[in-house]
């Protein structure tokens, strides 16, 4: 059995990815992949982890959990996605950085299926966007969320190091949210565990939101008309279409945080780029790059 946990992070289009996979449930089910609705297992895994108290699930518990999320025993892969898997928004940011306890959360999820092939999927976001999104999700109280936090400590590499040390025998798949327009089909297929031959509904949904209708239609027609289109060639087409836009605002998220100057955001951008390069080179990390 393969268990694919899509664990976040907040602000990384996790819901959009899940919605797209749910639109393909029938096709994926025919290929042995189940994508259960999150409300089907909301709270179930947390209760099981608490009951284990750091231990690993027995065979009976594993079967019980699978019965709770699966419609049949035909599937060989289950995709599970919840924004709270890595931690609740209120605990995402602390003086220790981003998701300081996230590695323990993933260990708990890993221990639920010790006999399965477990993969964790994590989309990363710019730390300024992450802070802004967490602030929005938690009610807008800046001091409660970011009070006493040095923005320069909002780094992803330390979190990934902790995860690799805690669940060294599990596959960790990473990408940057900013790259999604270019790698969207690859991310969807990697989470679903299907190859490029599988036609997915919604492959161009993200581009349709970023491009004017006429340009999006033209790009989709160009992609469809190109036989044997490689991943690299498709990404180049996407880049050409996006860079031809007179206004790239659709790709930029507005960040308005008290006391955060543009110079600080630019500094965080450099830290973020360095973090991503470090993460991509880590042994044990599969990095989907644009």
Q: Stretch 217-228: mean pLDDT, rounded?
A: 84
Reported residue count of the chain is 290
29 in any annotated domain = yes
How many domains would you assign to the chain? 1
Q: Which of 104-108, 150-154, 169-173, 199-203 has the lowest mean pLDDT?
A: 199-203
Q: Is residue 251 predicted with pLDDT exceeding 60? A: no
Residue 259 counted as domain residue: no
pLDDT beyond 70 at 254: no
pTM to 2 decimals? Answer: 0.93
Supply the pLDDT for residue 282. 98
Residue 192 has pLDDT above 90, yes or no: yes
Q: According to the model, what pLDDT value does residue 2 have? A: 98
Q: Is residue 230 part of a domain?
A: no
Domain that holds residue 180: 2-199+268-287
**Does 254 fall in a domain?**
no
Residue 28 within any structural domain of the chain:
yes
pLDDT of residue 252: 55
pLDDT tens-digit readout, 44-88:
999 999 999 999 999 999 999 999 999 888 899 999 999 889 999
What pLDDT shows up at residue 225?
Answer: 84
Q: pLDDT digits over 92-144, tens only?
A: 999 999 999 999 999 999 999 999 999 999 999 999 999 999 999 999 899 99
pLDDT of 182? 93
212 occurs within a structural domain: no
Domain-embedded: residue 242:
no
CATH number at residue 91: 3.40.50
Q: Is the pLDDT of residue 249 over 70?
A: no
* Inside any domain, residue 217: no
pLDDT of residue 181: 92
For residues 99 and 223, which has the higher predicted lDDT (pLDDT)?
Answer: 99
The answer, yes or no, to whether residue 278 has pLDDT greater than 60, is yes
- The pLDDT of residue 131: 94
Q: Per residue in 168-178, pLDDT tens?
A: 999 999 999 99
The pLDDT of residue 246 is 64
């Amino acid at each position: 059995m393969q268990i694919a946990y899509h664990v976040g992070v907040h602000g990384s289009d996790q819901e959009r990815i899940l919605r797209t996979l749910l639109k393909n449930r029938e096709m994926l089910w025919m290929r042995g992949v189940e994508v259960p609705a999150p409300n089907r297992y909301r709270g179930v895994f947390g209760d099981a982890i608490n009951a284990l108290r750091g231990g690993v699930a027995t065979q009976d518990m594993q079967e019980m959990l699978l019965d709770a999320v699966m419609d049949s025993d035909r599937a060989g892969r289950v995709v599970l996605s919840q924004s709270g898997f890595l931690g609740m928004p209120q605990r995402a940011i602390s003086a220790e950085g981003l998701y300081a306890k996230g590695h323990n959360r993933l260990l708990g999820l890993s221990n639920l299926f010790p006999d399965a092939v477990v993969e964790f999927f994590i989309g990363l976001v710019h730390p300024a966007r992450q802070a802004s999104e967490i602030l929005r999700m938690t009610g807008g109280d800046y001091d409660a969320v970011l009070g006493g936090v040095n923005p320069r400590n909002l780094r992803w590499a330390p979190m990934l190091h902790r995860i690799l040390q805690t669940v060294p025998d599990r596959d960790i798949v990473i990408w940057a949210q900013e790259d999604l327009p270019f790698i969207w089909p690859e991310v969807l297929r990697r989470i679903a565990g299907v190859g490029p031959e599988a036609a997915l509904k919604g492959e161009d949904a993200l581009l349709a939101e970023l491009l004017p209708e006429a340009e999006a239609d033209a790009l989709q027609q160009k992609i469809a008309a190109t036989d044997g289109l490689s991943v690299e060639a498709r990404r180049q087409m996407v880049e050409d279409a996006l860079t031809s836009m007179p206004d790239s605002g659709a790709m930029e998220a507005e960040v308005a945080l008290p006391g955060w100057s543009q110079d600080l955001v630019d500094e965080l951008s450099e830290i973020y780029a360095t973090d991503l390069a470090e993460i991509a080179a880590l042994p044990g990390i599969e990095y989907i790059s644009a």
